[in-house]
Amino acid sequence: MPITFTRPLLATEHGEFDTGAEAVAFALARRCGLPLAGVLPVLGNPEFEAVAPQLAARADAEASVKREHLVAQAQAAGVALELCVRHGPEPYAEIVEEARGRASDLIVIRRRGRRGLLANLLIGEMVSKVVAHAPCSVLVALRGAQMWSRGVLVGLDPQAPDMALLDEAAAIAVESALPLRLVCVAANRDAQAAAQQVLDRALLQARRHGGQALGELRIGRAHEELVAAAQACGADLLVVARHGAGPLGRVWIGGTAQKVTGLAHCPVLIHVNHPPRETATI
């Protein structure tokens, strides 16, 4: 059975950089035909509230206004949004805990800023920590992003190919009636033959889902080649795997997924292995 998303969670601060994530989450909810869950994290703790009660009250009031505005926007888009406001000293932790509590299978969140070399700064510390600690896949959308409509590109690690990642990308492509492109990047020509073998096996598996699947082998830096490949083929959803996320998320930070997310022109789905689900619609 295809792997798809039935319990998406929109994580938003309802600021200027959240518009793309909100638009994509609304579109996903409409396609699912389901209510959308949302979380709006607010920085706060008992010490802050005791020392600066006026500032804490102001933050609560601003969060309430944002909540009402976002719920109204969702309603206008034909989506029933169940949005909760969570307070805590670490906003990323509130998002992750909300996802765990709801057994979410996807977190939709924004990417900060414009594309550039400092990918970690563009994504933002909070989003980086969400990705590092998330119990499910995370869709990172840049400002102005829209639902994918042209193609899906999945980046395969030639040294540790993740077949669950491939299944997720293939299911999205088939159910969205979009072409799927598999890209495997070899570090150099000596690694080309091994990467081609990985790509060939992955293509066989992807085609079992049906739909159109093409493969491409590239040589170079993985993040640069994946972003370039997505631009070249017109894909507007890029799918990569999260690797090495530990308690502090330090291994993931600065890795290929981080750089791809910071440099891509389109939404990036960062796959995180999670338990299989019994129902499927996207």
* pLDDT tens digits along 115-157: 444 444 457 788 889 998 999 999 999 999 999 999 999 999 9
pLDDT top residue among 257 and 145: 145
Q: 152 forms bridges with which residues in the sheet?
A: 180, 237
Which CATH number characterizes residue 221's domain? 3.40.50.620
> Looking at the structure, do residues 137 and 169 belong to the same domain, yes or no?
no
Which is higher by pLDDT, 112 or 94? 94
Mean pLDDT estimate for the chain: 86
% of the chain with per-residue pLDDT over 90: 66
Q: Do 185 and 91 sit in the same domain of this protein?
A: no
Token digits for 49? 């509230």
Give tens-digit pLDDT for 163-185: 899 999 999 999 899 999 999 99
- The CATH number of residue 52's host domain is 3.40.50.12370
- Of the candidates 83, 121, 106, 111, which has an alpha carbon nearest to the alpha carbon of residue 31? 106
Tell me the pairing of strands 152-156 and 180-186.
parallel
pLDDT level of residue 281 (50, 70, 90 thresholds): very low
pLDDT at 253 over 60: no
pLDDT at 226 over 60: yes
Given a cut of 80, whether residue 276 has pLDDT beyond it is no
**pLDDT attached to residue 244:** 53
Whose structure tokens read 């493969």? 215
Whether 259 is in a domain gets the answer no
- Does one domain contain both 41 and 126? yes
pLDDT for position 274? 57
Look up the domain containing 221 and give its range.
150-235
62, 176: one domain: no
Asked, for residue 115, whether it belongs to a domain, the answer is: yes
pLDDT of residue 116: 46
pLDDT for the residue 134 = 95
Same domain, 226 and 174: yes
Question: What is the mean predicted confidence (pLDDT) over 15-36?
Answer: 92
How many alpha carbons fall within 13 Å on the CB side of residue 180?
30
pLDDT grade, residue 195 (50/70/90)?
A: very high
CA angle 218-219-220, nearest 5°?
125
Q: 193 or 282: which carries more pLDDT confidence?
A: 193
What's the pLDDT score for residue 277? 45
User: Pseudo-torsion of CA 86, 90, 95, 98, nearest 10°?
Assistant: -60
How many domains are contained in the chain? Answer: 2
Least confident range of 161-175, 218-232, 238-252, 267-281: 238-252
The pLDDT, as a whole number, for residue 268 is: 96
- pLDDT, one tens digit per residue, over 43-70 is 877 766 677 677 778 888 999 999 999 9
Phi-psi group of 220: left, alpha or beta (phi > 0 → left; psi -120 to 50 → alpha; rest → beta): left
- Assess if residue 243 is contained within a domain: no
With vertex at residue 67, the alpha carbon angle to CA 54 and CA 272, rounded to the nearest 5 degrees, is 110
Question: Over the range 55-66, which residues count as b (16 or more CB within 10 Å of their CB) and which as e?
Answer: ebeebeeebeeb
CA atoms within 13 A on the CB side of 83: 28
- Quote the DSSP letter at residue 18: G
> What's the pLDDT tens digit per position in 1-19?
344 789 999 999 999 999 9
Tell me how far CA of residue 181 lies from CA of 47, 72, 81, 177, 201, in angstroms.
51, 37, 33, 13, 14
Length of the chain: 282
